[in-house]
Chains A and B, each alone.
Chain A
Amino acid sequence: MTNISWALAAPLLALAASLAGILLHSTRDNQRRLVCSLLLLSALAACGAGMAGLLSHPDTAVLPIGLPWLPMHIRLDALAGFFLLVIGVLLGAVALYSVGNLRHLAEHRSLTPLYIFLPLFVAGMQGVTIADDAYTFMIFWELMSVASYFLVTFEHEQDANRKAGFLYLLMAHLGGLLILGGFAVLYAAGGSFEFGAMRAAALTPPWASLAFLLAVSGFGMKAGLIPLHAWLPEAHPAAPSNVSALMSGIMIKVAIFGFLRMVWDLIGLEHTAWWWGALVLAAGSSSAVGGVLLALQQHDLKRLLAYHSVENIGIIAIGLGLGMIFAHYHYPTLAALGLVAALYHTLNHALFKGLLFMGAGAVLQATHSCDMGRLGGLIRRMPRTAALFLIGCISISALPPFNGFVSEWLTFQAALMAPQLEGTLLSALIPFSAAMLALAGALAAACFVKVFGIVFQGMPRSRAAAEACEADGWMQLGMAIPAVLCLLLGVLPVWILPLIDVVPQSLIQAGLGKSAAGGWLWLTPIAPERASYSPLIVLVALLLAVGAFLVIHLRSGEKRRTAPWSCGHPHLNPRMQYTAVSFSQPLRRIFADLYQPQDKLQRSDHGHPLLVKKLRYQVHVQDQAWRHLYLPIKRFSEWLTRRVDWLHHRPIHGYLAFTFVTLLLLLGLLL
């Protein structure tokens, strides 16, 4: 089999899974097993094809399906290979997780819609990466969007899910329209839907800028860049947990892929204006900080994780923006560094966000709640899930020796190369975005102390949490795979980077090259004297230190257990613990101007303000993007609808007159 047939096998296996979902709807157990196994096979094919795409030359094929004059073109190159690999790795883990997860879901309802649309959604994502013409790209893109709409509204009895689904569909199509516009500009220049022709076409600067703007807003909407993120925190939590893992872990990465394909590959970075990179950098910085600030104020576990996706997409965009700026000023090696940092973070985020959403799914299944105010103490009831979730928390907080730190380190290194752009305005802007990156990292750590501390530690805050059961073996296996990979990617970046380095080599004909290979031990992205990091030494040193002390202390066993210190108060109860709301209170106060929290305090007393009977405190933090962007747009469109309302109430000859005038206008345009 050639490489391209491996790449084709992945979506085909996914389509087969969808078919199996329909055919076996009467036997639930077989249905689940077959769909999950086919998805796993699809994941393996995607991994294989991804590796092949990274390691060998681009391979193309033309499929005799599609429009009569436009067969489907597919192509497997390094960029497609990398993203197929990302999809394959997480999909494999999620397929295993689903075997256990869906068994529990199936107790309550028929999962046939899920078995149909989940594989279609996967096939759409895989198809987008290997598309080699605009038509194929858009077909698969829409397949991905529409199939995921049905997954978001899977539990459609709940009003909130239907609303989230509608918002998602609306924004997905608006984004799709913008992307289509981008392709239209490229089509006009290249005269063909094929990517090869678009790549070769020479765009004039204004048209290139237009195509870039359409791409950045269209793909940005799908990726969830602030302020185009509004659908993301609504839609991701609404879907079943294994779907949330895929949506947050890889679907928004497919948007990053689309951006890279269109801007870095088709438009080409030789046409960039200086502000392109600056725009991406600014959007990335604001997403990184805005996403984590909003995440801190969420009390629903899955919603919180969804906001962290906004943050991490921001970090990826910072890397991409840096790359574009360096490419504009003709520093190809540094541009490659920015891109490699972004891609490394793409892979990392797919892993740890997939892991965290799967963990959230395990918690949801065990306690039937994602409201952090009702959880707590799960580390004792679900020790393995807790340990795996903790790995995800450490990774996403960018702490060594896990993988999140490596990609943030690389992004910092790229940002610190700003002095190369001497005397430009940008060189002062870049350190500012580095500051935003540092702020986002530190806030993320605060947020995940809150998540782990409130959900898994302390005392259970509800009966459901007190009686939770550990997730089953399949789910643990599904979570263990990304957890192990998080550690490996954190410890062995030197082995991974040469693989990723292929992508910039094929996209911008420049890579980190030899400088990245400072031996198997040292990660030196630019030059050894500039910066180096040896995760293995850090890991070994940490293990040695921890191990030495454990050995000393395991001997002196005996520990005494007693009640915690309660300041002399006789009974500590779970309601005295800090909650998610109180944990984030100091930050709410510090960033009050950004949050504009609305709080409400109700109190009743026994006739004297000091003799309190009952206190009730409520605080609500709204995403300011709603108030300042979405609601005005909504009001405007409603206003517009009312203005043209009279057009709808015409007698029949009125409508005929409209048709006639329209035809005349169109004829006038043609002549």
Chain B
Amino acid sequence: MFSGKIKKIVCLFLFLALNPVSQSFGQDISVTATVDKNRLTLEDVLQLSIIIQGTQNTPPPELSSLPDFRVVSAGTSSSTQYINTQRSVSITYNYRLTPMNTGTFVIGPARVRANGKTYSTQPITIAVQKPSNRETAGNRTAFVVTTLSSNKAYVGEQLVYTFRVFHRIDAKNLNLSLPFDKTRFHKEELGEPKSYNKIINGLQYHVQELSLALFPLKKGQYEIPSSIIELDLIHSTQNRSSRDPFSQFFGRRTRAEHKVLRSQPLSIEVLPLPDGAPEGFENIIGQFNISAELGKNDLEVGDTTTLTLTVSGKGNVRDISFEEPALKGYFKIYPDKPEFHQTIRNNEIMGEKVFKFALVPLEAGSRTLPKFSLPFFDPGKAQYRVAQTPPIPLNIKPSATKEKLNLVQSRQQDAQAPEIEILGRDIFPIYTELDKFQNARSHSSAFLGISFGSPVILFILSAFIIKQQKRMKYDVAFYRRRNAYKNANQRLKKMSALEHSGLSAPKEFGRELSEILREYIGNKLNLQGKAITAEEVEIRLKEADYESAEVTRKLLERCETLQFAPTTRGSTKELLGESENLIKLLEKQS
């Protein structure tokens, strides 16, 4: 009963497992393209689905060029259906198309390659309109506003671009795209986005604000294109008066509306820097302060002091650099790596860069460290300025340390590892030792099979031998069974020799032969062989499924007959041969 059920299940399984292959080849392939709407506004998103029926093994469709849309893959879904044993398969590739312009557009045929053929979808015409003006900024559910700190700026001047999204209901899955032309603006983020509430015309809006610092790179009149944010507005559809505890427990019923909000493009005029730049001007634009500080003004030859130069202010502080002070010959100078810290204050990037030079005087005397100058352009005052440090006087005495003292202090000097000046960089040389150039071979599956398999086979063999040896020690029945044939065969050989020599009497011969046979069977079946009768032998052999049970009984009876009614020598020879054959037969059947 169960086996019949199992057969049915197996057949069904095989049918399901094998059928898809045959069906998918047999089924016609068709490709269609669908959209969820063909009229939309710039705030909407179009869902495009390419449905391939008849197969699921295709590369993704090749969409035609869609310059007026931003295309994002929205995943795939596949389906398999059985209707009256007919199987149909399909796969759907979904895309989200965000319109970038208004007008009428044609989504050209998408091409799909399947089974060596190319299939095309039908073109689809889409009309994109401006968003409806029914909702004004005052009562809209969500809208965006972008501002620029100034609509006129010099090349390199810092501008603050602020993007704000206002929404009256919950918004999720916000995806912001700020399309700046990298060739015209350098962009830096001004910290984390802010979040706050604001009341406009009595309506409370939740505002999320992101600010960026923009640095114009080229002069000219530009338009910063619209920033686009995609978001899901969560509309509550539950009746507020409902006090159903279950609905409260399972949460409010909501509906998500996907929206694409665009800001107004902003225009900006980027002015070139005026002529008359001071000497050493390196496009540093902003407002900066500079200060210099020396570790100690009185020191000895060979002593060390640190000159710290700090530049801070608003603008591109990161780009500021200073050459080593022109003190070669008088001082040994070790410049340190400049440290730069950036802070954001009042939505503007402020920075501080610290340069450190370790100075070791080589000669005694009074010196003056030269002033450091930083020429920069101040866009606030629309003029070039130069920030300077005052000259720093320095009194250097001859070294008071004597030679003897130097020797004592040599350990201390050793403790400080001397700084090694890197003069150049190069690669390590090629290898020439020929023993390294052995050809690395990839291993064949035969090599891997033998390498990993042979220890397993050796183990199985040795385990089998060990198990047999252990069983021979402790399992008496097994030991008797294993040695039954060997013992019987040895005794039969002895009897055969006696029979040939003519020394054995038929009576003794019959008794001995009967004993060998019964002992053999006793060993095989783990019985007291000598004590069992011919009938018992037949019964026990039949119980143990030996086919020659009856033949054995008859042979034993003949042996007994020979014991009690001895016949001629010829019959003993015949009986011996039959016994040998029977034992061989029983051995095969065991």
A pairs with B: no
- Residues of A participating in the B interface, judged by any CB pair closer than 8 Å: none
